[in-house]
Amino acid sequence: MARMSDVTRGGGLFRHNVLVLFAAGFISVLVFQSGAGAILHAYGLANQPFGYTPTKPFGVPGIWSGAFWGGLWGIVFGLAEKHFPRAPLYYVCAFLFGAIVPVLVLWFVVFPLKGNPIGAGWNVRRMAIQMLTHGCFGLGVGILVQAFSARSARA
């Protein structure tokens, strides 16, 4: 069984420190996922990003709620990431992780819990936009994890 010190250092289940994984996921929502949403919004393809509408049940602005959940997804990313290949394919896998895993949970768990239709209502445009923006999230997590880990390895 992994000790807590092993987990925070990146041992056991994870290749990287869980705090690095959480931070990468948190930042990736704010920069990569919302950035992709902003570009799509500029072309009239997506809703406005960086929403401050309060979420239930605590009234936290949507952007900060999303960033928190992105941090948790960053930790889930860390569980899968140790199986990714190195070099350029690492970033393809990171994008595909974001485009598939969180999106399936969104469509088949989160949406029904919120009373929304499953699978984004099978609206192909909406589904593609969600896969693209979440794929950018996964790519961002991969880029940030590699950057943070390279920096800590030099220190």
In this structure, the number of other CB atoms found within 10 A of the CB of residue 141 comes to 33
Task: Identify the pLDDT of residue 3.
Answer: 55
CA 70 vs. chain centroid, Å, equals: 5
Contact 49, 95 (CB under 8 A): no
Q: Exposed/middle/buried for 87, CB within 10 Å: 0-12, 13-18, 19+? A: exposed
Preceding peptide of 57 cis, ω within 30°:
yes
Read off the pLDDT of each residue in 20-44 and give the average, rounded to a whole number.
Answer: 96
Residues 67, 46: Cα–Cα separation, whole Å: 19
| pLDDT tens digits, one per residue of 51-107 | 888 888 889 999 999 999 999 999 999 999 999 998 899 999 999 999 999 999 999
In this structure, the number of other CB atoms found within 10 A of the CB of residue 54 comes to 12
Which range, 28-37, 43-52, 80-89, has the best average confidence (pLDDT)?
A: 28-37
| pLDDT band at 28; cut points 50, 70, 90 | very high
| pLDDT tens digits, one per residue of 112-149 | 998 999 999 999 999 999 999 999 999 999 999 999 88
Nearest to 134 by CA among 64, 49, 41, 70: 70
Q: Which two tokens stand for residue 55?
A: 């979420």
Selected residue with higher pLDDT from 110 and 1 = 110
pTM value is 0.88
Task: Identify the pLDDT of residue 55.
Answer: 85
Selected residue with higher pLDDT from 6 and 13 = 13
